Amino acid sequence: MSIFGLVTIFLYLLAFMTSTGAFAPKLGIDLQGGTRVTLVPRGQPDEESMQQATDIIRERVNGLGVSGAEVVLDGSNIVLTVPGEDATAARDLGETSKLTIRPVVQVVPMADPFNFEPTPDTAGDQEAAEKAIEDARAERQGDDQAALQQKLNTWNCPETDLLAGVDNPDQYLLACGDGQKYLLAPQPRVDGAPEGPAGYLDGEKIQRDSVSAGFDQQRGQIQVAFRFNGGPVNASMTWSQLTQEYLNQQVAILMDNEVISAPVIQGVTPPGSQTSITGLDDMDTAQSLASNLRFGALPVSFEEPNVDNVPASLGQASLDAGLLAGAVGLLLILGYSLLYYRVIGFLAFLSLIFAIVLTYGVLVLLGNWIGYTLDLAGVAGVIIGIGMTADSFVVYFERIKDELREGHRFRSAVPRGWKNASRTIVTGNMVSVIGAVVLYVLAIGEVRGFAFTLGLTTIMDILVAFTIMWPLVYLASTKPVFSKNSMNGLGAMEDLRVKAVAEHRNEAARRNAAAEDAATTAGSTPSSQSKGDDA
């Protein structure tokens, strides 16, 4: 028991030292409310690209200071969960955020700013998705400027831009933004840059630490400011030359092919000077854009995100239901233990409480240490695991009964029963741990939360059985008061033991009597024969 005490004290000290708020496990959105955003990639990106996208989104979340958010690669999707009711920024974190720059050739207003061309639903159909992208590229891009100018007036802006992040930078492009339709020139290339996609003037050439969002007091506008890189691949010089070439003309700044700003160049920007994006709706939009620029564009484009909102009241109701289920289960275990095993059963229940205390500390520590969040499926795993702990007690007590049936006294039956029960407990729990590990590795989503807590509580079961339950019951067996049938609940087995002992003694007495009779008979026969001979 001293080992258990030291482990528990050390565990809780670590949890307190790493805790920054309330001493409680971190809860998933299904227990406290929040937003879950599922990002489904377009096409079939490789595993490396998906992992890179996950890391970038995680950096964006950290950059926004969203507390308690979690980003995980779940199969072929990326799942972002943000706790709390205010999770509007979560919807924009999955944007590709590929910033590009193109000179403006022509701009016309949309006939109806609220009328967009429907986008075909290609979710889950790789071939259809690729065909839709090719059709969009054929309609909106090309080398013939005059042909695209003719199309600009009759072309309708799409509801979802399929070319976001996958347009051809060397061709003209039809794009939209803020109620306008644009014909844009090809992207300028950076002097000294290598051939290929990395050679264009885009968001990848921005100095990450120079990006900031704020309010320009002089212009009275919200802006995102940044600088382009210098060095051998001098994007800053290319931008300066571009502002000189297109002086008094419009240059569009696009984010995922949507024109977010198309200012008229009013002066040449010296190399290394700050550039800003204005015309943003609000500060939240500016902060989100700045975060996305600071951590780079995603290497993968995604379908329209699937957003699930869980109200805080519903999350609290789920948490209350889980706690109620656990409390009812504990009361039933207590009733069963007292009914069948009396005070010994209470010792088992006390061991169960120790297991809960240890599990709670581990969950708090994991939440502080690695950001583990407990969801409703995890609560179910904890409850089932605690039930398995109670099952270990039953296994042990039934082994004690077996020893009593064989005629051993209560004090000697306790260690004998533990010797047999411990092997069964370890074997059974190891099967559960293996099952939980396999389930965790193969499953996705909330099932992994169930598998994790099930495996955790199963390990706690083994620890508590060896360091709490066995020492407590053994200590009780050394006290005469616990040997009484009325205290240990094993009266029926004790009666059987007494009966078995009595029968054994009676049988032994009968055997002794029979042996004595046989010896007497054998001794009297020769005497009779001697008397006959004398006569």
**Least confident interval from 177-191, 243-257, 364-378:** 364-378
pLDDT band at 63 (very low <50, low <70, confident <90, very high): low
pLDDT score for 531: 47
**Distance between CA 46 and CA 261 in Å, rounded?**
33
| Predicted local distance difference test score (pLDDT) of residue 80 | 84
In the structure, what pLDDT confidence band is assigned to residue 502 with cuts at 50, 70 and 90?
Answer: low
Do residues 28 and 81 touch, judged by C-beta distance below 8 A?
yes
Q: What is the mean pLDDT of residues 235-257?
A: 90
Share of the chain above pLDDT 90, in %: 16
Please, which pLDDT band fits residue 184 given cuts at 50, 70 and 90? Answer: very high
Residue 242: pLDDT band (50, 70, 90) is very high
Q: In three state form, how does the secondary structure of 416-434 look?
A: HHHHHHHHHHHHHHHHHHH
> How buried is residue 343: exposed, middle or buried, by Cβ count under 10 Å (0-12/13-18/19+)?
middle
The fold for domain 311-492 equals Multidrug efflux transporter AcrB transmembrane fold (1.20.1640)
Q: Which residues contact 336 (CB under 8 A, 6 or more apart)?
A: 345
503 Cβ contact partners less than 8 Å away, ≥ 6 residues apart: none
Residue range 363-384: mean pLDDT, rounded:
84
pTM of the model: 0.57
The answer on pLDDT for 534 being more than 50 is no
DSSP assignments along 368-395, one per residue: HHH--EE-HHHHHHHHHHHHHHHHHHHH
> Which pLDDT score is estimated for 186?
95
Q: Could you state, in order of their start, the residue ranges of all structural domains in the chain?
A: 98-295, 311-492
pLDDT at 298: 77
In this prediction, residue 104 carries a pLDDT of 95
331 Cβ contact partners less than 8 Å away, ≥ 6 residues apart: none
Mean pLDDT computed over every residue of the chain: 81
- Tens-digit pLDDT profile for residues 458-496: 998 898 889 888 888 888 888 877 777 666 666 555 555
Give the model confidence (pLDDT) of 302-335 as tens digits. Answer: 777 778 777 767 767 877 887 888 888 888 888 8
- Stretch 171-189: mean pLDDT: 93
- Look-up: residue for tokens 């050439």? 205
Determine the average pLDDT of the residues in 385-401. Answer: 86
Kindly state the average pLDDT of the residues 32-51.
Answer: 82
